[in-house]
Amino acid sequence: MAVTSMLFFVSALAAAVVYRRMPARARTPWLLLISAAFLAAWNWQFVLVLAVFGLVNYWLGLKIQNRILSGTLVWKVTGIAFNILILFVFKYNRFFLPSLLKLVGGNEQASALQILLPIGLSFLMVQMISYLVDVSHGRLKAERDLVKFGVYILYFPKLVSGPVERARLFLPKLESPLPFNRDLFDRCLSLIITGLLRKLVLANPLFSLIPADAFTNPGTYAGQHLVLYLLAYAFALFNDFAGYTGIVRGISLWFGIELSNNFTLPYFSRNFTEFWNRWHISLSNWLRDYLFFPISRALLKRVPRRENALNLILPPLATMLVSGMWHGLGWNLLVWGGLHGVYQVAERLPGLVHPSVPLDQRPRWRNALGISVTFALTLLAWLPFRMNLPTAWAYLQRMFHWVRPDFFLFGRYLKAETPWLSWSPLNLPNPILLVLLALALGFDLLLKAQAGEKDLWALPRWLQVLLEVLLGLAILASVFVDATAPFVYQAF
């Protein structure tokens, strides 16, 4: 069930009304019930798979809790291994199953042995690992209430594509949901409207304006078009995921449960450290707390000097490589993660020579340069994120082969000296794509200038109304256009 569908909104609203009117003790079981129903709407078998997955983690949590005094290492490692194994079995099986079957003499084609991939498994895996680690470190007591634990796993607004929630922050919210008042109502609406604007007005059209074969056969396009398609992809990806997060956060507030923010205008980041504080924040914070910091601490214990090469290089590189692998098993994603790791290592190097100036104290020109360089390098890294390595390389090379637009013919068209025949031979960019890119950038600039990040109601009233009218038009237009794109991050 798409989160932009009317069915989803109406069902969630009805569920929230019932939730708000029922006695407090019945609310958590109700959340579990509707979340399971939501999951079953995708596929009823998902409910069974995730129930087993949740029960094992629940049991592991209790085991770790019971051994806090006698040592939890074995159970903690078992728990982490179990969750990684589950991800490999369900998500990454197509990478190793054919070879494995071949090895044991089976039919390689038996990879048609379809293993059901429950939605949101990658997101669940990291949440379960942080839960078990937090229990083992005594930051959190293992949850004994199976219903509450079930809601932590299945809570429908965050199930499909996050945000990645920590149990120690999420579970208390079930006990004391935010009261429904005017402030909450405003925030819900702001998040949902902004989310829908991002998804319906910006992301969907941007995705569909990229030709289907641009990312598989870039050789057929002129360099200037490829640059534009890459820009469109970058903005579409951001608006798609940020839009989705806004919608589910808004809907979650109907139930009084605040979910983590995931994006704060990442393309205005002044360096890569800041970028990862602004892009997919819930995941990058998870990576920071459960990978980057532990690796850094372990290395510092060994050589207690920050300038040490290994201390400098390994934590960001390893963290970003794992981030790449989390997105999927493939060399291209590993390269994407590796590039971001290298970027972060590179920007730490000047700090070895002289103390780095905090971002807020840097001159404006330097921050502008920082934003430009960070954005350009992020853009390049999207190439291996989106396509396999040979194609990404071909795309990169082709980006520098610009073909001179036919301004002469364009001029004749404009002067009506010849009838308009077709657009492609002009080698000019698609004007609609340019308008949408300007709209996407303008929207973010406005939010940055007016509201700090994402509060629609902090914008001038005329602009709020204009955006709402635009959204109304987009929703009405979607009735007549069948060009809906699924949320990209649902694939993870």
Which listed residue (224, 308, 430, 490) binds another protein by CB under 8 A?
430
Q: Least distance in Å: CB of 276 to another protein?
A: 5
In terms of CB distance, is 393 or 413 closer to another protein?
A: 413
Residue 211: count other Cβ atoms within 10 Å of its Cβ: 14
* Stretch near another protein under the rule CB under 8 A, chosen from 2-10, 30-38, 62-70, 470-478: 470-478
Q: On the CB side of 34, how many CA atoms lie within 13 Å of its CA?
A: 21
* Stretch near another protein under the rule CB under 8 A, chosen from 107-115, 122-130, 278-286, 374-382: 278-286
- Tell me how far apart the alpha carbons of residues 73 and 173 are, in angstroms, rounded to a whole number: 29
- Tell me how far apart the alpha carbons of residues 170 and 334 are, in angstroms, rounded to a whole number: 31
Interface with another protein: number of residues (CB under 8 A): 62
**Interface with another protein includes 204 (CB under 8 A)?**
yes
Interacting residues with another protein between 295 and 334 (CB under 8 A): 296, 315-316, 319-320
Q: How does DSSP assign 138-190, residue by residue? A: TSSPPP--HHHHHHHHH-HHHHTT-----HHHHHHHHHSPPP--HHHHHHHHH
Q: Least distance in Å: CB of 285 to another protein?
A: 7
29 close to 155: Cβ distance less than 8 angstroms? no
**Interface with another protein includes 336 (CB under 8 A)?**
no
Interaction mask 41-80, another protein, x per CB under 8 A? ----------------------------------------
In terms of CB distance, is 217 or 261 closer to another protein?
A: 261
In terms of CB distance, is 38 or 290 closer to another protein?
A: 290
Q: Least distance in Å: CB of 275 to another protein?
A: 9
Which listed residue (3, 124, 153, 210) binds another protein by CB under 8 A?
210
What the block records as the tokens of 303 is: 């050589």
Q: Least distance in Å: CB of 6 to another protein?
A: 15
**Interface with another protein includes 103 (CB under 8 A)?**
no
Q: DSSP secondary-structure letter at 359?
A: G
In terms of CB distance, is 288 or 412 closer to another protein?
A: 288
**Interface with another protein includes 453 (CB under 8 A)?**
yes
**Interface with another protein includes 406 (CB under 8 A)?**
no
- Tell me how far apart the alpha carbons of residues 378 and 340 are, in angstroms, rounded to a whole number: 8
Which listed residue (13, 73, 110, 483) binds another protein by CB under 8 A?
483
Angle ∠(263,172,122) on CA atoms, nearest 5: 45
**Interface with another protein includes 481 (CB under 8 A)?**
yes
Of 282, 331, 335, 327, nearest in space to 490 by CA:
327
Distances (CA, A) of 483 to 183, 203, 244, 477: 35, 11, 17, 10
Which listed residue (148, 454, 487, 489) binds another protein by CB under 8 A?
454
In terms of CB distance, is 71 or 452 closer to another protein?
A: 452
Residue 308: count other Cβ atoms within 10 Å of its Cβ: 14
**Interface with another protein includes 455 (CB under 8 A)?**
yes
In terms of CB distance, is 63 or 249 closer to another protein?
A: 249
- Tell me how far apart the alpha carbons of residues 477 and 474 are, in angstroms, rounded to a whole number: 5
- Tell me how far apart the alpha carbons of residues 283 and 324 are, in angstroms, rounded to a whole number: 12
**Interface with another protein includes 419 (CB under 8 A)?**
yes
Q: Least distance in Å: CB of 379 to another protein?
A: 19
- Tell me how far apart the alpha carbons of residues 375 and 371 are, in angstroms, rounded to a whole number: 6
Q: Least distance in Å: CB of 225 to another protein?
A: 10
120 close to 161: Cβ distance less than 8 angstroms? yes
Phi, psi of 131 (to 5 degrees): -65, -50
Which listed residue (68, 451, 488, 490) binds another protein by CB under 8 A?
451
Of 283, 267, 252, nearest in space to 162 by CA:
283
Angle 223-254/364-386 helices, nearest 10 degrees? 90
In terms of CB distance, is 56 or 300 closer to another protein?
A: 300
* Stretch near another protein under the rule CB under 8 A, chosen from 41-49, 80-88, 114-122, 424-432: 424-432
**Interface with another protein includes 113 (CB under 8 A)?**
no
User: Is residue 363 within a helix (H) or strand (E), and if so which, with residue range?
Assistant: none
If you count DSSP H runs as helices and E runs as strands, how many of each does the chain have, helices first?
A: 23, 0
The alpha carbon of residue 327 and the mean position of all alpha carbons in its chain are separated, in whole angstroms, by 10
Which listed residue (156, 241, 244, 292) binds another protein by CB under 8 A?
292
- Tell me how far apart the alpha carbons of residues 416 and 92 are, in angstroms, rounded to a whole number: 57
In terms of CB distance, is 148 or 187 closer to another protein?
A: 187
Of 319, 322, 317, 318, nearest in space to 341 by CA:
317
**Interface with another protein includes 223 (CB under 8 A)?**
no
Query: Which residues contribute to the site for another protein (CB under 8 A)?
Result: 185-187, 189-190, 204-205, 208-212, 214, 261, 264, 273, 276-278, 281, 284-285, 287-288, 292, 296, 315-316, 319-320, 344, 419-424, 430-432, 451-455, 457-461, 464-465, 468-469, 472-473, 476-477, 479-481, 483
